[in-house]
Amino acid sequence: MARKQRVRRHARLKPAGSARSVRFFSGNLPADSFLDDVIAGLSLPQKALPPKYFYDAEGSRLFARICRLREYYPTRAELSLTRRHLAEIARFAGAGCELIEYGSGEGIKTRLLIEHLRPARYVAVDISEAALRGAAARLASEFGWLPIDCVVGDFSRPLNLPPSRGARSARRVAYFPGSTIGNLSASETEAFLRMTRAQVGPRGAMMVGVDLKKDANVLHAAYNDARAVTAAFNLNLLARINRELDGDFDLRRFRHYAFYNASQGRVEMHLVSLAAQSVRVGRGRFDFEPGETIHTENSCKYSIDEFRVLAAQAGFRAARVWCDRRGQFSLHGLSAA
């Protein structure tokens, strides 16, 4: 039998650089989940891979490039709405709260929020340890007064947060920007919102960035950029399988394919097999017909009212909503009670 590999809940990881205010924890990542999920996904009638595996170090770098693309409007729209409504957003969250961010990424909006909120603690949960270390180091150097706790973990599964540092626990506010929630199905969204509601407690709140429904051409361009960075991001998932799971995907025989599925209200990303081929991953073998796809991501788009319904189903009160001037992106302020 293999050595016991379960990651200890909240096992402390090595501290980041010199910042004494930063603590690292490992969350809920079983060591072999990637292999299991890939084998399971490629065994489905419609082959599929979970989008959370896009974000290895290379994938996180590519995603950061996507965020700077001319066609990829969500990042800029969310930043502009955050700037535009910063005072109200900060008032909704409440100064001195504990800010808990899921999927922390590059953190430009986070910096704005922290500056205005002066939270008692900032907790960042992300699946990519590399991304977390980078973001935490930047935040620590800018906000020396801020206690930062980083949790390397998968927020789509139950996750315990490290206990508060102070004697008294501050109000908890979950922050989930970037429309990452769009990756989840309706039932996963409800489960995630319920879990978060339990985490923040009855005094708590949540702020969720949600990409809005819009012209299909704008959506299409955002996921089919001229520089093919999104294509590289999508294909990197296969490269990662080759690197980490001993796979033999031939990246020249798969092509990026993204389109807006209007009836489902979501952009879908796929990787299309360009030929009949057989691919090995570890001890598994998977056959592809020409034109067969691996479904790698859904990016759901919601009207304001559609998202309010989901939030209410999860027990939140949809208290506030803020939008950018062009009406491309929304930030919902949800109250637990």
Q: Of the candidates 60, 128, 230, 335, which one interacts with ligand AVJ according to CB under 6 A?
A: 230
To ligand AVJ, the closest distance from the beta carbon of 63 in angstroms equals 7
As to burial, measured by CB atoms within 10 angstroms (0-12 exposed, 13-18 middle, 19+ buried), residue 32 is exposed
Residue 215 or 246 with smaller CB distance to ligand AVJ: 215
To ligand AVJ, the closest distance from the beta carbon of 208 in angstroms equals 12
CB-closest chain residue to ligand AVJ: 299
Q: Are 77 and 326 in contact (CB under 8 A)?
A: yes
Q: What length does the chain have?
A: 337
Site string for ligand AVJ, 178-197 (x = CB under 6 A): xxx-xx--------------
Site stretch for ligand AVJ (CB under 6 A), options 155-163, 176-184, 185-193, 310-318: 176-184
To ligand AVJ, the closest distance from the beta carbon of 185 in angstroms equals 13
To ligand AVJ, the closest distance from the beta carbon of 164 in angstroms equals 29
Residue 99 or 222 with smaller CB distance to ligand AVJ: 222
Q: Of the candidates 78, 126, 297, 324, which one interacts with ligand AVJ according to CB under 6 A?
A: 297
Exposure class string for 293-316: b at 16+ Cβ within 10 A, else e: bbbbbbbbbbeeeebbebbeebeb
Site string for ligand AVJ, 247-286 (x = CB under 6 A): ----------------------------------------
Q: Is 122 helix (H, G, I), strand (E, B) or coil?
A: strand
Packed helices 86-93 and 73-84: angle between N→C axes, nearest 10 degrees: 80
Phi-psi region of 157 (alpha: psi -120 to 50; beta: other; left: phi over 0): beta
Cα–Cα dist 224/230, whole Å: 7
Residue 52 or 121 with smaller CB distance to ligand AVJ: 52
Residue 28 or 179 with smaller CB distance to ligand AVJ: 179
Answer yes or no whether residue 148 interacts with ligand AVJ by CB under 6 A. Answer: no
As to burial, measured by CB atoms within 10 angstroms (0-12 exposed, 13-18 middle, 19+ buried), residue 290 is exposed
To ligand AVJ, the closest distance from the beta carbon of 269 in angstroms equals 6
Site stretch for ligand AVJ (CB under 6 A), options 25-33, 111-119, 122-130, 174-182: 174-182
Strand partners, 98: 121, 172
Residue 219 or 336 with smaller CB distance to ligand AVJ: 219
Q: Is 162 helix (H, G, I), strand (E, B) or coil?
A: coil
What 8-state DSSP symbol labels residue 107? Answer: -
- The gap between the terminal CA atoms of the chain, to the nearest Å, is 48
Residue 196 or 335 with smaller CB distance to ligand AVJ: 196
Where do we find the tokens 């399971």?
40
Tell which positions 74-133 bind ligand AVJ, by CB under 6 A.
74
The 3-class secondary structure across 52-107, one letter per residue, is: HHHCCHHHHHHHHHHHCCCCCHHHHHHHHHHHHCHHHHHHHHCCCCEEEEECCCCC
Q: Which residues contact 138 (CB under 8 A, 6 or more apart)?
A: 107
Amino acid at 101: E
Note the residues at the interface with ligand AVJ (CB under 6 A).
Answer: 66, 74, 178-180, 182-183, 223, 230, 297, 299
